[in-house]
Structure formats: C-alpha cells, structure tokens
Amino acid sequence: MEGNLSIKTALHYGSLSGLSVFVFFVIIHFMGYNVFGGAPFLGFWIPVVFIIMASKFHRDHNLQGVMTYWQGFTIGIFTTFFSAALFGLAFYLFTLMYAPELLDQYKTQALTSMEEGKAFMSDAVFEKAMEGIEQVTIGSLAFSESFNKLLGGLIISFVTAAIYRRKPQQFV
C-alpha cells in the first residue's frame, strides 16, 4: 500500500512542479530573456519546494510520521521524474507548436560558446562538437532540458531524504 501512496504523492507534487517550472520558463521566454542562459537558473527553487512538500506530506500523512532515508529518497526521485517528464513534454510541445525559433536560438548560442572555447580544444574535437550542435533537434533539446532537471532533482532528493527522515520513537 505504501508504494501506491508514494506514487500518488509523487505524481501530484511532480505534476505541480513540472507545470510550475514550465510556466516559469514561458514567462522568461515572453519577457525576452534567453531561456538557455542564466535567467532560468532563477527558478531552481521551484522543484526544491515541491520535493520538500512531497517528502513532508509522504512522511506525515502516508507513513504516519516515520520515514527512512530510502523512503525519502524514493519519493524525491519519483517526484523529480514526474516533474522532469511533464516539463520535457510541455517544452517539446511549446517549442514545436509555438516557438520553433528556440531551436535556432539554442544552436546559435551553442555555436558562439564553441567559437569562444575553440582555443582550449583540438581541431578534431572542435569539428565534432560543431557537427553535434548542428544535429540537435527539438526532441533532443527537450530531452536534454528534462535530463538537466532530473540531475538537479537527484541531488535535491539526497538532501531532502536526509533532512526529512524520522525514525520511530523508542519508548523505554
């Protein structure tokens, strides 16, 4: 029963997190900021809040106030997975249907960054990197953005699991 409750909790808070991160992304886009630059980093706190809320809710309501580190880590990972998947899907659909120029914006920024770092790599590596940038599609960009969210959530899950774990009280 605990597994089913953890999936429901993670799905609830993960979907809220994914939608919130996507809304933040869209706001940044419409404000004219570079969505692949430093501005989206300002929203790093959004998934943190939802992972914390999911961990606390799961501990206090589904597990009667007792949660092991593994249970806390699991709820954090599931919440992160649902959040990243929903964000990736929304990002893909938004870019495909409304803002296809984001792909060109990404490629332009990546090519500029590669040109600036050319002095630090060999010509063969530089050419291979340039080919890789040209092969980026909307799908691979959406996957990359989701994967980045997944990695961040993994780190957050380690920390929140340690903070919100609670051992059963021993009465002596």
In this structure, are residues 101 and 29 in contact, taking their beta carbons and an 8 Å threshold? no
Give the list of residues 6+ apart from residue 70 with CB closer than 8 angstroms, or none.
161
pLDDT at 1: 47
Six-digit token pair at 102? Answer: 């984001």
Residue 76 C-alpha from the chain's centroid? 12
pTM across the whole model: 0.88
User: Tokens for 55?
Assistant: 């961990």
Task: Per residue of the chain (172 residues), give pLDDT as tens.
Answer: 455 888 999 999 999 999 999 999 999 999 988 888 777 788 889 999 999 999 999 999 998 889 999 999 999 999 999 999 999 999 999 999 999 899 999 888 888 888 888 777 888 888 888 888 889 899 999 999 999 999 999 999 999 999 998 887 777 6
Whether 24 and 47 have beta carbons less than 8 Å apart is answered as no
